[in-house]
Amino acid sequence: MDGCSIHKTILECYCLDGIPYLCGYCIAKIQGGFQVWSIGDASVKKKELLSNVLKELSASKSETENRIRSLKTPTEKIQYKADGLSKKFIVVFQKMRKHIEDLETKVLSEIARQVEEAVAIYRDEIRELETKRDELSRKMAAIEDLYTLTDPVTGLQRPGDYGHGNNQRSAGDCSTAACDLDEGSISEVLHTGIAELVVIARSGLFMVEKSDILLDEDTAGNNLEVEDDKKSFYWVNRYQSTPKTPQRFKDHQVLSTTSFSTGRHFWMVETSKCGNWRFGMSYASMTRKGFRSYIGCNDKSWGLCKWNNQYSAMHACKETLLPDKLTCQRFGVYLDYEAGELSFYELCDPIRHLHTFSATFTEPLHAIFRLWLDSYGGAWMTLKSME
């Protein structure tokens, strides 16, 4: 800004209204009511205004940066977790691919083995028939030679074997059972391999810590018989004279010796078709007798329940009925202690989520089971841990 564009003189003042910059001639000509400042004063005021704006912008920038940092923290955590999961799943898929390759080799080897056994039966018979064919050809040649003789006396004097060889077996005489392929055993190899593949995939899905669940027979009610392996138990229709201790349930329930106070865990249970049952997780501090000792009938246990073919999830006497009938007797239980999640799954084809409890766990959790007889006969349960 060199000077007044009208009078070509030095600018002396700053007007807040109208033309902002004024020289001495401009000031003399303007009417009253205009706010006029010296250039120096106007500059100071402008700097004060800019300083205030700068402070506001700086505060806004600082707030924006804080917000960016607050958003980056969870996104970085998410990315870190995603990277970890990706690495884990890469290992899982590597295991699955290796397992599929091995399974393919097993199935094809089983087919090749059966082919060799079946073909061997035909091969022996073919060899026998080829020998028979060669003998028949020899006899036919001898007979044709005699047939072509012109001297009847010579033909009559030559000895010969004129047997017809009608006692040979047909190549189709071997039974289908002996000669055909056993598709059932081939399918069994495949299905077993697929089941193992599901276990590999499930271990990747839940990312669980390896744990071994064993039953505490000192807590088992009198109508439960715990097997020696501490992984199976069944209902017995008699009262057993087990010692009465503060740890033992009065009714037919049993706790695991294993407890969980951190981490993620997955285990499986298989039940008999008959009988009624409940299983889930509980604190060891729950009462051992009376209605409040039943799984799900207190605030210290969470369970999946079956009663007369009706299925439900229970906690603190609150029952959530499951809308669909269950189609198999294999179930999975997934515990994420820190996240406060306890989930139940039906391990059929496909795997089906049944229910998830959300809670803040305050004590170590034990697996817990309840089993009793119905009108159809005995009942049992078997526990399996994730390999």
Residue 43: predicted pLDDT: 66
Q: Kindly report the CATH number that applies to the domain delimited by 208-385.
A: 2.60.120.920
* Contact assessment for residue 332 and residue 345, using Cβ atoms and an 8 Å cutoff: yes
**Contact partners, residue 374, CB within 8 Å, separation at least 6:** 274, 275, 276, 308
pLDDT band at 20 (very low <50, low <70, confident <90, very high): low
pLDDT band at 155 (very low <50, low <70, confident <90, very high): low
Q: Compute CA distances 9 → 4, 38, 309, whole Å.
A: 5, 15, 103
Query: For residue 162, is pLDDT > 70?
Result: no
Output the average pLDDT for the chain.
Answer: 81
For Cα atoms 313, 316, 318, give the angle at the middle one, nearest 5 degrees.
50
Mean pLDDT computed over 350-373: 91
For Cα atoms 201, 202, 204, give the angle at the middle one, nearest 5 degrees.
65
pLDDT band at 208 (very low <50, low <70, confident <90, very high): low
Residue 116: predicted pLDDT: 86
* Contact assessment for residue 253 and residue 367, using Cβ atoms and an 8 Å cutoff: no
Residue 325: predicted pLDDT: 80
Mean pLDDT computed over 61-74: 86
Q: Which of 110-114, 176-180, 204-208 has the highest mean pLDDT?
A: 110-114
Listed residue (43, 9, 45) closest to 29, CA to CA: 9
Burial of 251 (0-12, 13-18, 19+ CB in 10 A): middle
Least confident of 29-38, 49-58, 145-154, 342-351: 29-38
Domain ranges for the chain, please list them: 100-205, 208-385
* Contact assessment for residue 181 and residue 115, using Cβ atoms and an 8 Å cutoff: yes
SS3 6: coil
Least confident of 184-188, 226-230, 319-323, 354-358: 184-188
Residue 267: predicted pLDDT: 87
Residue 368: predicted pLDDT: 97
pLDDT band at 300 (very low <50, low <70, confident <90, very high): very high
Q: What does pTM read for this prediction?
A: 0.52
pLDDT digits (tens, 9 = 90+) for 308-330: 888 999 999 999 999 878 888 99
What burial letters (b/e) apply to 9-47, b meaning 16+ CB within 10 Å? eebbbbbeeeeebbbeebeeeeeeeeebbeeeebeeeee
Residue 148: predicted pLDDT: 77
Q: Measure the CA–CA gap between 379 and 224, rounded to whole angstroms.
A: 10
